[in-house]
C-alpha cells in the first residue's frame, strides 16, 4: 500500500484519491488506476467504460445519474480545473439529499470516487478542462436521469465565476427538482 492517499468526507462511500507521484528532471509518472491498489482501499468494482470530455470556462454539466443501470465512477481532470459534485440519492442513507464537492485539477491530480446511487456534475473553472472518468456500467442513453443543478433543497454552493456566462446543455436546464424526484420515486414504490 502507500501508492494511494485517500480522503473521506461526511458522506459514506465518497472518496478523494491522490495517486503517488514519482518525479524527476524529466517530469513525472503516476498510476491513475491499478485494480489491486483500489481493491485494498475497498473499491473493487470492474470498470467497463472510459469517457473523456472537453469543456470551456463556465460550462456546468449535470446533475446526472443512470436510473436502472447505475454506475460507480472514478473521475479526474487531465487538463484544467473543475468543481466536481456528488449528491447522495441512496434510499435510506443518513446523508440522503446531501452533496459534497471537490476541486479536481491537472495540477492536484486528485481523483473522485463516486459509487452508484449518486447524481454527479461538474463546473469548469479554468479556460478549458479535459475531464476523464471510468464507469462500472455502460452508458444507456434511454436510462439517464438528472436533477436541476441549482435546486434550492440541495443547495449546492457552486463557485460560479463572476462575469463568466453559465453554459448548460438544453437537457440540463430541464431536469426536475429534488422534491419532484422524491415524489416520482415515492409513486414508483421505491
* Predicted confidence (pLDDT) per residue in 148-181, tens digit: 999 999 999 999 999 999 999 999 999 999 999 9
Residue 38: pLDDT over 50: yes
Q: State residue 1's pLDDT score.
A: 41
Residue 70 lies in a domain: yes
Residue 20 lies in a domain: no
User: Which CATH number covers residue 131?
Assistant: 2.60.120.10
Closest CA to 103 of 74, 89, 128, 123: 123
Residue 4 lies in a domain: no
* Angle, CA 52 vertex, CA 50 and CA 55 arms, to 5°: 160
Q: Tell me, yes or no, if 140 is annotated catalytic.
A: no
Residue 85 lies in a domain: yes
Residue 10 lies in a domain: no
Q: Tell me, yes or no, if 120 is annotated catalytic.
A: no
Total number of domains constituting the chain: 1
* Predicted confidence (pLDDT) per residue in 64-89, tens digit: 999 999 999 999 999 999 999 999 99
Residue 187: pLDDT over 80: no
Phi, psi dihedrals of residue 135, rounded to the nearest 5°: -130, 150
Q: State residue 184's pLDDT score.
A: 87
Interval 112-141 mean pLDDT: 97
**Per annotation, catalytic residue among 100, 120, 123, 133:** 133
The sheet with strand 73-79 has its strands ordered as 4-8, 15-19, 111-114, 73-79, 128-135, 49-56
Could you tell me the pLDDT band of residue 19, with boundaries at 50, 70 and 90? very high
Residue 181 lies in a domain: yes
* Domain region containing 156: 46-187
Residue 16 lies in a domain: no
**Per annotation, catalytic residue among 64, 100, 123, 181:** 64
Q: State residue 2's pLDDT score.
A: 59
* Average pLDDT of every residue of the chain: 95
Phi, psi dihedrals of residue 151, rounded to the nearest 5°: -55, 130
Phi, psi dihedrals of residue 63, rounded to the nearest 5°: -95, 120
Residue 124: pLDDT over 60: yes
> Three-class SS of residue 29?
strand
Residue 11 lies in a domain: no
CA distances from 37 to 2, 89, 109 (A): 9, 27, 17
Amino acid at each position: 500500500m502507500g501508492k494511494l492517499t485517500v480522503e473521506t468526507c461526511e458522506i459514506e462511500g465518497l472518496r478523494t484519491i491522490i495517486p503517488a507521484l514519482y518525479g524527476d528532471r524529466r517530469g513525472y509518472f503516476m498510476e491513475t488506476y491499478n485494480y489491486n491498489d483500489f481493491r485494498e482501499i475497498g473499491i473493487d468494482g470492474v470498470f467497463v467504460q472510459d469517457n473523456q470530455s472537453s469543456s470551456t470556462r463556465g460550462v456546468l454539466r449535470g446533475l446526472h445519474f443512470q436510473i436502472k443501470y447505475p454506475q460507480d465512477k472514478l473521475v479526474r481532470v487531465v487538463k484544467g480545473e473543475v468543481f466536481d459534485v456528488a449528491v447522495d440519492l441512496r434510499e435510506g442513507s443518513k446523508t440522503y439529499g446531501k452533496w459534497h464537492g471537490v476541486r479536481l485539477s491537472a495540477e492536484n491530480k486528485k481523483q473522485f470516487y463516486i459509487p452508484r446511487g449518486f447524481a454527479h456534475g461538474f463546473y469548469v473553472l479554468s479556460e478549458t478542462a479535459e475531464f476523464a472518468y471510468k464507469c462500472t456500467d455502460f452508458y444507456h442513453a434511454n436510462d439517464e436521469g438528472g436533477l436541476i443543478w441549482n435546486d434550492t433543497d440541495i443547495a449546492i454552493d457552486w463557485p460560479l465565476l463572476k462575469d463568466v456566462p453559465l453554459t448548460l446543455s438544453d437537457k440540463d436546464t430541464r431536469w426536475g427538482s429534488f422534491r419532484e424526484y422524491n415524489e416520482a420515486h415515492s409513486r414508483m414504490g421505491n
